[in-house]
Amino acid sequence: MNIANLVIVSLVITIVAIQPLAQERTNVGEANFVTVLSIDGGGVRGIIPGIVLTFLESKLQEIDGPDARIADYFDVIAGTSTGGFVTMMLAAPNPQNRPMSSAKDISQFYIEHSPRIFPKIGRTKFMKSVASIVSEVVGPKYDGKYLRTMAHMILRNLTIKQTLTDVVIPAFDIKQFKPVIFSSTQAKEIPWKNALLADVCISTCAAPTYFPPYYFETKDVDGTKHTFDLIDGGVAANNPTQMAITHVTREALMGKYKFSGPEVLDGRRMLVLSLGTGTQTHNDLYTAQKASRWGLLSWIFANGTTPLINIFYDAISDMVDIHVSTIFKALQVEKNYLRIQEDNLIGEATRLDLSTPENMKVLEDIGKKLLKKPLSRLNLVTGKFLPVQGEGTNEDALARFATLLCAERKRRNPAKTV
């Protein structure tokens, strides 16, 4: 789907959303929801949504038993970059056709593999700084070999149409110069879009300056070759929430859902959980005074960070949150959209690639503290997350969300147990 199509479908959502406001609100408790999970990109900071998902899965298990898994409850799981890898862990099947991983496996995955995905350079501090600058200029910071080997080892020959629920993963084709969105539903309909899960994961994680672009090929039923020259999906949709909603809307317009109708199209029958990987909103790491002296190199690499990449990704994520928050608030169903994001990362915790045991422990602690924080929503005037009075903590909100997910699953399959 190209940018023009994404814009058109987004406009459809907005236009249809305006119409029901003058009508009587639907009692959402009497009908089905389309359930959506979205996971941002963010490198090693994927530990943070991993902690949140572990809590959510534990609440699902309290209600439906120990075999309950995240993929059992969401119609669509969308993930970008590191969120794409988490998506595959949750939705890829094991030999028993159950999810390959539980949510509690996510943190251990990062602890085990991140040091080899983002290896430290064994030099003095000065030499490391010099080597890092040189590597940023002459090539990607990491060769990506371990990432590729690990992805193929874990996901084997599984293809995207084999996922246990519909997944939506973005990447960007630098040859065609347009976003590429991989989804399970399209892969079932269009053979050449049925790429290997490993290839999709590697592609959406190929962040510019960090990893090299990734090339792979697929074939159509008649043998026609299709080529992909891909980089990180974060350059198009680091927060894939709007992309996921657009996907649901397109599928509904095509009659793919048994319970399709205008309420699905305008968002009143959507339950959306959007998980961030943290952002840095309160710091003076970048200021106009400092940046006024920057040239090309400093915008790419400064003080151990990548300003241009960080600013670009965070801006995309925030704009998506503003757009989605506005739509759900306009529809008077803002509680159907739950965004959980740590908005005050500081210091080394902001880095996408710091894979030391100490930093990963810090990120785990940030995730656990985030659960205890008051539920916050985006203030559409100030652009800041503000606590919501009377709605408790993020844990409380997730517990309520788990109850809705379990109720929805029982409505669809009243005799089925996990």
Cα gap 211→68, rounded to integer Å: 35
* Tokens 């976003």 sit on residue: 179
Question: Which residues are within 8 A (CB) of 260 and not within 5 positions of it... i.e. 6 or more apart?
Answer: 252
Q: Which structure tokens are listed for 277?
A: 């990987």
Q: Which structure tokens are listed for 397?
A: 């909100």
Per the residue annotation, which of 64, 75, 81, 114 is the catalytic one?
Answer: 81
- Of 348, 240, 222, 208, nearest to 1 (Cα)? 240
What is the enclosing helix (H) or strand (E) of 273?
A: strand 270-275
What residue spans of 42-81 are helical by DSSP H? 47-64
* Tokens 């990449």 sit on residue: 309
Confirm whether 232 is a catalytic residue: yes
Asked if residue 370 lies in contact with residue 342, where contact means CB atoms within 8 angstroms, the answer is yes
Cα gap 53→37, rounded to integer Å: 10
Q: Which structure tokens are listed for 51?
A: 């902690």
Cα gap 58→406, rounded to integer Å: 12
Asked if residue 385 lies in contact with residue 343, where contact means CB atoms within 8 angstroms, the answer is yes
Residue 167 main-chain phi, psi, to 5 deg? -110, 150
Residue 231 main-chain phi, psi, to 5 deg? -125, 175
Q: Which structure tokens are listed for 413?
A: 């399959």
What residue spans of 19-163 are helical by DSSP H? 47-64, 82-91, 105-117, 125-138, 145-155
Q: How far does the chain reach from its first CA to its final CA, in angstroms? A: 35
Per the residue annotation, which of 232, 266, 314, 321 is the catalytic one?
Answer: 232
Q: Which structure tokens are listed for 120?
A: 């430290």
Cα gap 327→274, rounded to integer Å: 15
Confirm whether 143 is a catalytic residue: no
**CB-CB neighbours of 94 under 10 Å:** 11
Kindly list the catalytic residues: 81, 232
